Structure 1
């Protein structure tokens, strides 16, 4: 009986240690932003207002985490309505035909203290390409407002818009092919 009790205790502790946790982005404290260079002389920034990110994993330091993002491309906002409407058109994102973009990570590799290289598949305009971004895990705290564990991350990197056929009729001297990505997020642990 003692052996059975010991076995059950070990099994319970093992499942508790390796239990998968899920985290969901807090829209009030998260941002998905980008910037391009116009005419080679100035940066133009924007963001996607509506998006959701979930993280799942077993490790407390997120070293095995899987990140999944879905964004409403029609929520693009560069603070200029005319430009936003043009970006939603067939010249760029063609949001009527391709309303969503998504990212699902396929690997996460440590690159320093609380720093990772996050690789995954990015889909824009139904074109999927692998991309690698820099991920900074900023820590986990007990949120006094929500009474929930809250983790913070910052993601930075660069993608090429031509890989996804975004704005193919606008050459790089007019709008840079490279698009800088910067995403900041707070994530609440789900029970």
Structure 2
């Protein structure tokens, strides 16, 4: 009887530490970027086809693993000519490098709702470590599905030269790219 009780306790404790997966609600999420054009104005774009997940065994997401994949051919800057140029070998080379991926390697909780997410970004066939700032906007329950929700805002900066992304002079297109993502996630 004692063995059964101990075994039951071990199983109960181990079940509470299983990681749970959260999937991106694509209709309530966006991944975008911004560059400075001609040292004058911000030009923004986004990726229309994105998928992301969060895996975490803790409710506060302090042990979370964030993963994202974006389809390069879905780039959209509201200008077809520019979008086609960005997909060409001059920049993203979508035919050769069709996806952008990110996978976190660690998450540091800064305060109750702020995190530093360290991870590997693969862009244009090059993988580099980056750090992103994340804010947990909140959690809740969808009244229609009764599924748990979590919303995150993530921002960061990368250099296009680090990923050999275009040889256009920085006076025309800035080297620094501002990344922005707003994601609503549904607990599976």
Q: After TM superposition, is the score higher than 0.5?
A: yes
Aligned residues: 188
**Alpha-carbon offset, residue 167 of structure 1:** 1.2
Distance 1:171 1:129 in 2: 22
Question: When the two structures are superposed, what TM-score results if normalisation uses the length of structure 1?
Answer: 0.95
Q: Which moved more, 1:40-49 or 1:110-119?
A: 110-119
Which stretches of structure 1, 4 residues or more, deviate above 2 A after TM superposition?
Answer: 3-6
Distance 1:162 1:130 in 2: 14
Distance 2:29 2:7 in 1: 41
**Alpha-carbon offset, residue 172 of structure 1:** 1.0
Matched, 1:155 2:158: no
The equivalent residue for 2:86 is 87
Distance 1:22 1:173 in 2: 43
- Listed as ranges, the gaps of 5+ residues in structure 1 are none
Structural mapping, 1:103-114, within 5 Å: 103-114=102-113
Q: Aligned-pair RMSD on alpha carbons?
A: 1.1
Partner SS state of residue 184, structure 2: strand
**Alpha-carbon offset, residue 11 of structure 1:** 2.1
- Listed as ranges, the gaps of 5+ residues in structure 2 are none
Question: For each residue in 1:88-124, what CA deviation from the matched residue of structure 2 results, as whole angstroms up to 9, or x when unmatched?
Answer: 0111001011111100100111122211110100001
Question: When the two structures are superposed, what TM-score results if normalisation uses the length of structure 2?
Answer: 0.96
Question: For each residue in 1:57-99, what CA deviation from the matched residue of structure 2 results, as whole angstroms up to 9, or x when unmatched?
Answer: 2111110001111110000000011110010011100101111
Distance 1:106 1:161 in 2: 21
The equivalent residue for 2:127 is 128
